[in-house]
Amino acid sequence: MPPSKLYIKVKSLERLIKEETNYKEKLKHQQQNYEALSNSKNADQNELKLVKDLVEETSKVLIPQLFSKLEQFENDLNEYLVKHAIEIKDEVNNYKNNLTASNKNNTDLSSIISVPLEPHRRNVKLNNDMTSNNEPLDLDEFEYMKERIIYLFLTCADIKRKRYEDFNAKSISPKLATLEDAVNDDEIY
């Protein structure tokens, strides 16, 4: 029996979250490699250019594409749940508030995604047609995967927040530094 649409959507989003982590680690490693090569006295200029191109490709092409896919898949899962009259965003907010109140961080939730879904708990009751858009949602399957779905939405929100903070830090920091210098030099009253 093929996996249900809910299962496919959840696993796709999990895969993209793991890819995001892998790309960031890859970028960090490439940047360290570039710095090591640029500080080396006998570095080959062609190799240095190649590593620099890899860093730029990862940071300017691969990671932004991944973020757009991540947002697309998150919206797709949310639309699928809304289509089946399941509003999970309120539950995500409640879960987030409970985590904040108990001072836990998202790393405590990472165990949820590492636990594989049991095949017999997936949607085995339905005869799934992979081409059908009108597949009914098995509520038992949803309840089984509910905590995992909440974790995915929280993780996506955290990734967006970090991306927004990184973007603001990169785009605003030169302006702030100039403004702070002007204030410190009494150029602005």
**Neighbour tally for 32: CB within 10 Å:** 11
CB 141 within 8 A of CB 122: yes
Task: Supply the pLDDT for residue 127.
Answer: 44
Q: Pick 86 or 182 by higher pLDDT.
A: 86
Q: What is the mean pLDDT of residues 77-93?
A: 82
Over the chain, what is the mean pLDDT? 75
**pLDDT grade for 40, boundaries at 50, 70 and 90:** confident
Q: Does pLDDT of 77 surpass 80?
A: yes
Task: Supply the pLDDT for residue 124.
Answer: 42
Task: Supply the pLDDT for residue 26.
Answer: 92
CATH code, residues 5-184: 1.20.58.90
Q: Does pLDDT of 52 surpass 80?
A: yes
Task: Supply the pLDDT for residue 15.
Answer: 92
How many angstroms from the chain centroid is the CA of residue 136? 28
- Alpha-carbon distance of 186 to 93, in angstroms, equals 45
Q: What is the mean pLDDT of residues 156-164?
A: 84
| Chain segment 23-38, per-residue pLDDT in tens | 999 999 999 999 998 8
